[in-house]
Amino acid sequence: MPSGVIPRHILMSTDAVGGVWTYAIDLSRGLSALGVEVTLAVLGPAPGPQQAATAQAIRCVRLLETGLPLDWTTMWPGRSGRRPPPAHRTSPRRRGRGC
């Protein structure tokens, strides 16, 4: 991206556990202040009601609850353990508003 160009939309993955969530919310606030639309794609457990309300209160932020496991807990094919559901079987839950 050329220097000085501000993107119109950013897709950011996050989880709702601890410091990652706080960072994603703070970054979303800053980007929103610049008029950048942000979609927060949440992996792992869904955000709690207070977390969701915080995200929804930020202008230009959409919350996308994917229902997918945290990436670092997922086992890849060929290894024993959990695997993520196929993408076509997930039904993300969208909340929030765009700019």
Q: Would 73 be classed as within a structural domain?
A: yes
Q: Give the pair of three-digit tokens for residue 78.
A: 């060929």
**Alpha helices, DSSP H only, in the chain?**
19-33, 49-56
Sign of CA dihedral 69, 71, 76, 81: negative
pLDDT band, very low/low/confident/very high, at 3 (cuts 50, 70, 90): confident
Whether residue 28 is contained in a domain is answered as yes
pLDDT digits (tens, 9 = 90+) for 34-72: 999 999 999 999 999 999 999 999 999 999 999 888 876
Select the more confidently predicted residue: 39 or 3: 39
Residue 32 counted as domain residue: yes
Look at residue 3 and tell me if it is in a domain: no
Structural domain of residue 48, as residue ranges?
9-96
pLDDT of 12 reads 96
User: Does 85 or 17 have the greater pLDDT score?
Assistant: 17
Q: Return mean pLDDT, the chain.
A: 82
